[in-house]
Amino acid sequence: MKMPRYCYQFSETYILQVIKRYRQQTFKRFLRLSVKTFCFVGLTLLTAVGLFAQSFILTGVFGGCLLLLLTGPRLDYWLMLRKFRKSSFYNSTVISTLSPQGYQCESELFKLELSWRTFSKAYRMQDGFLIFDTQKQYYWFPDSALEEGSIAEVEQLLKQVLPHYRS
């Protein structure tokens, strides 16, 4: 069996893709969505009541909160990417190799080797693998970045070495 190897660029697109995949697999997203929907309906009603009562200051406050609720995720991404652009890892090419012994990752800036005991679980997403270590950090391996090996080989390897694998 060939050792699966991924090659990807640590770019803004990659970072946004990683965060999106992480948020897709967490159960909390349903709770967050229901709370946001409840707040949206409540703030919309309060804004309408403020307009009806001609209390424009209160309407402005409720409207501002409504605007923050709607633009919050985009503001979050913007701040995150702004910080990331200042990082020395910005746009660096990363090569990750998965073997039965562990995970190796290297770039022009670093070299990292981890044993599979470091990792706790993995998920097969529609377009890649999301792997978690025991420190609540996660690694995203998109199918499009797979240079050597096959998706089936990666899946077989992860099933063998990780106790909690879900496809």
Please list the pLDDT of the chain residue by residue as tens digits (167 residues).
578 999 999 899 888 888 888 887 777 778 888 888 999 999 999 999 989 999 889 899 999 999 999 898 888 889 988 998 998 888 899 999 999 999 999 999 999 999 999 999 999 998 999 999 877 788 999 999 999 999 999 999 999 999 888 88
Q: What are the residue ranges spanned by the domains of the chain? A: 5-11+88-166, 18-85
Residue 74 has a pLDDT of 87
Q: How far is Cα 62 from Cα 79, in angstroms, rounded to an integer?
A: 24
What CATH number belongs to 5-11+88-166? 2.30.29
Residue 1 has a pLDDT of 57
Residue 96 has a pLDDT of 94
Q: What pairing do the DSSP bridges indicate for beta strands 5-9 and 93-98? A: antiparallel
Residue 151 φ/ψ, nearest 5 degrees: -60, -40
The DSSP result for 24-40, as a single string, is: HH-THHHHHHHHHHHHH
Task: Specify the pTM.
Answer: 0.75
